[in-house]
Structures are given as C-alpha cells and as structure tokens.
Structure 1
Amino acid sequence: MADTATTNVQEAAPVDAQHARVPTVVVDDVHIVYKVHGAGSGRGSATSALSRIISRKRSPAIREVHAVRGVSFVAYKGEAIGLIGSNGSGKSTMLAAIAGLLPTEAGGIYTNGQPSLLGVNAALMNDLTGDRNVVLGCLAMGMSPAEVRSRYQDIVDFSGINEKGDFITLPMRTYSSGMAARLRFSIAAAKTHDVLLIDEALATGDQKFQKRSEARIRELRKEAGTVFLVSHNNNAIRDTCERTIWIEKGELVMDGPTDVVVKAYERGERP
C-alpha cells in the first residue's frame, strides 16, 4: 500500500500572476481501501494465524472495503469547498486522506502547506479543564506562548462556553458533546491554516454559534486559506461554500457551483 504523497504544488500555478489561481490540494485518481480484520470468522486460533503468517497467506477473515474510487479534483487558495453525500459515501475518508492520516491504495494527494483536520472527535483531554485544553491545543498547532495568551480570551468568547457559567475552568468530561465540539472548532479556527478540513463541526451548537462559525470560515478564506467542509446540513454548505463536491459510494458524482450541485443532490439527479 502506497503512502499518501505530500509535495509542493505551487509550480502548477498559472504564469500570469495577476490572474493566478494557486492550487493548494491536488487529488489525482485516488483509491482508498480499508482492510477489516476478523470480519465474520470469529477469533480463530493462534496456531492457524501463525501458519498463515509463515505461508504468507491472507486470512480468510480479512475483508476489503473500497471506500474511495478514483476521485480527482484540484482545490485552490481562497476556496471554501463543501463535500456532500449520503452516510458511508467516503466524505470523511477523503478528508482524512488529505490530512495525511490515511494512505492511498492508488493515486496521489499533493498539498501546498500543512492540512489541519478538525472533526467532532478531535482529541482533547477530558480530564483537563477547558482552559488547559485551549492552551495545549494552540501550542500543538504551532502557536507561540505569546500568541496563545493574546488570543485566549477571543477563543473562549467565540466558543460561548462561559455564556451560562464559568465552564472553561471545569474538566472537559463535564461538557456536553455540543460544548466540546464548539471549543474544538474555536481552538482550530484561532489560527490561519493553509488547508483547514472541517468534518461536521458546524452541525453542533445553536444557530448563533453556527453563524459565528460561518463568518470565521469566510475570514479564514480571506486570510489565504482553503477550507473543506463536510456536513449533512445543506444550508451550512450553501451559506459557507461557493463550490461543492458530491461523493457517493466512493465515487465523485459532481463538482461545481454549490447551488447547482446541492440542488442535484437533493433531487437525487446524477449527471
């Protein structure tokens, strides 16, 4: 299995700098295959497993899932791109591959800059307080201690964690799932990213927080980043992204202006 390729793609930009569109992510005929171990055959015995290892035979309990099938597209600096599709269509898998967390079976992914993946399951430490998680999360993103101190209060205010009490000083395990997701997004959005990958982050929180999130994504785009957003909330996609990619059963169905693609998706009209 080939590792996900990462390289600089600035040389692919058009020669005319005045009208240059700088590519930030190139996905070239990518296939991603999961190997699920132990599917449908029980645990088996250590003797049989050792025999298979020695003989280099594949376990009959290994099942392959072809999650992404030949997807290709190019993302450019300043774009906000929505990824839509039914459950299990390969959207989140595609984001994880762009972030470098999943290897490709075939094809390549090339990025200009460091992609940062933000999902509702992004790791924060449940036993630490919210304020400690803010500091550690910012440091992990490469911010200096001085930058963390200068942006700390803005992060807390943006998350809305303290709107109904001093929750930022409580352990993360006391937070609701929505509160935790809002804090994750607020930490990630505090830094300008080359490529920011957001998986369902806007699906959590109230309408006021969603509006703040959408406004922050627009700011990130102006600050030169590229944003990918996976969401089942089509209104969030419409409000945030001018381009949308529809993926179904691991295949790219449609790539174009958000209004056109989302309408076709909602009607189930494949081109």
Structure 2
Amino acid sequence: MAVAEQQSVERTQRPSDTRVPTVIVDDVHIVYTVHGAGTGRGSATAALGRLLSRKSSPNVRRVHAVKGVSFTSYRGEAIGIIGSNGSGKSTILRAIAGLLPPERGKIYTDGQPSLLGVNAALMNDLTGERNVILGGLAMGMTQEEVRSRYQGIVDFSGINEKGDFISLPMRTYSSGMAARLRFSIAAAKNHDVLMIDEALATGDRAFQRRSEARIRELRKEAGTVFLVSHNNNSIRDTCDRVVWLEKGELLMDGPTDDVLKAYEDHTK
C-alpha cells in the first residue's frame, strides 16, 4: 500500500474529537495567605521590624485550598461542581474567572469567563432598574441591547410579581430578590463561559425551573456553564457532567448520575 493511501486509511480509522475546549485547568494549586491578629502592645513596631529583617509574621498562615486539580470543559457542556463546605468549589471558579492567581499550574480559557455568585456586586443605593442597566452595560451589552432585554430581565426575575419593586433601591430587597435579579441580568447575555455559584439556591421552585431552563438555553447557544450548588436535584436537572472536589482535591469527574451517586454514598 502506498504511503499516501496508508495515511488516508489511518485518518479515516482514527476517531476524531470535534469538541471545542473552553476551559483547561492544568495541575492548579491555589494557596491563601491568612493574616491573624497581632497580640500585645508594640505589634506595629514588631511588624515593621519583621519587614525590615524580612522575617514572616508568626500570625500568618497558608491555606492550600486547591491541590493539583486538572480538568477540561468543552463548548456546550453544563458541569456541576460539588463537594462539602471548604472543598475549594468557589475557589476554583474564582480562579477560572481570573480573580485568583494559581500558585502553581495553569488555567486556559477560550473567551471571557463570567462569574455569577450570590455576592455579585450591585449598587444598593440605586434602584433595581438602574442596576439592570448598569449590569447589562458592565457585561458588554450595548445600550440598545439593554433596552431591548430590560423587560425580559425584570419579568424573568419576578421582582415585580408583588409590587413595583424594580423602582425601589436595592437595599429594600430581600437577599432572595437581589440574587434573582443578579441571575436574571447575567442570564440575559450569551456567555462564552458562565459560572454560577449557588445562584439557584435562592428563590422559589418556579424561579429555579426558569433558571434551569435558561441554563439549558445557554448550552444550546454554544456556551459552557459551571454550576456550584449543594442542591443535588438542581445539578441533576441541569448538568450532564459533575466534578467532585473534596479538601481541595479532585475525587471524581464524570457523568452526573455516577458522580452524584458516589458523593451521596460518601456523605450518608
């Protein structure tokens, strides 16, 4: 067989992976430096002395929050991230978003990751209406896009179901109302990579169903969605893949039902 013919056969027989990577997390380690309170008088003088002598403070502690985690996400996937409190779930999302630099390892992203958490910043002294506009502009929408999507954002959030709350300052909202508005603003735009940190834990079941449906729409529109949640039902309804972190380490990465079963057996 000629060389050209042999290469053609090999290309035909070789399985092709047409999936497009969106996030590559390669052996990532993240370490927090925690500064404790000084004790005794003269602590400021002692601190200055340590700086001049380049000695570390006895009250500084290093916390190894993420330990050698590696995985790759692909366009069109919805990936749940689970684990007990303090396992590094929110930390890895913040690192993917570029908010935390890894101490070791690399993170590569295709497109701009957008992190949505229940603590996402909106302006408490401004009305919900102004926050929708500013939030949309901050995500890169044009003024025309914000105007055309404004009513859909308000309706999706359900803010006005019990009154004209959208015209009131954000400080008058309950935590659940504020979280619903944050999610609604972020979900109004198609994202290359959308990361949701516990956003579906707030709101009633009707809002959770709307949120889950919107995440499925985002997947169809070629985005990748990461969802951190302690609600396994939301993970099951939304995600087809789950990454399980525990004590900063990757314990399992696979199909949703397989990983959740192992996690639930582990936590019984």
Return the TM-score normalized by structure 2: 0.92
Q: In structure 1, what is the equivalent of residue 254 of structure 2?
A: 256
Q: State the match for 1:242 in structure 2.
A: 240
Q: 1:184 aligns with which of 172, 175, 182?
A: 182
Return the offset for 1:38: 1.7
What are the equivalent positions in structure 2 for 1:99-178 lying under 5 Å apart?
99-178=97-176
**Where do residues 34-53 of structure 1 align in structure 2 (5 Å cutoff)?**
34-38=32-36, 41=39, 45-53=43-51
Q: Deviation string for 1:191-230 (max 9, x for gaps)? A: 0000000000000000000000000000001111000000
1:7-52 CA-to-partner distances (Å, cap 9, x unmatched) read xxxxxxxxx9x85100000000000000001257578612111111
Please tell me whether the aligned partners of residues 80 and 229 of structure 1 are also in contact (alpha carbons under 8 angstroms).
yes
Distance 2:161 2:113 in 1: 31
| 1:145-195 Cα shifts (integer Å, max 9, x gaps) | 000000000000000000111100000000000000000000000000000
CA RMSD of aligned residues (A): 1.6
**Where does the alignment leave 5 or more consecutive residues of structure 2 unmatched?**
1-13
Query: d(CA) in 1 for partners of 2:195 and 2:220?
Result: 16
Q: Which has the larger displacement, 18-27 or 218-227?
A: 18-27
The number of residues matched between the two structures is: 254
Percent of aligned positions that are identical: 80
Mapped to 2, the partners of 1:251 and 1:38 lie a distance apart of: 25
- Selected match of 2:223 from 222, 225, 229: 225
1:72 aligns with 2:91: no
| CA distance in 1 between partners of 2:73 and 2:219 (Å) | 12
Q: Return 32-41 or 42-51, whichever deviates more.
A: 42-51
**Alpha carbons 1:26, 1:74 under 8 Å: kept:** yes
Larger radius of gyration: 2
Structure number with the higher helix fraction is 2
Structure 1: 5+ residue stretches without partners: 1-15
Q: Write the distance in 2 (CA, Å) between the matches of 1:116 and 1:130.
A: 21
User: Structure 2 residue aligned with 1:22, among 10, 20, 23?
Assistant: 20
Aligned with 1:215 (options 208, 213, 216): 213
TM-score, normalised by the number of residues in structure 1: 0.91
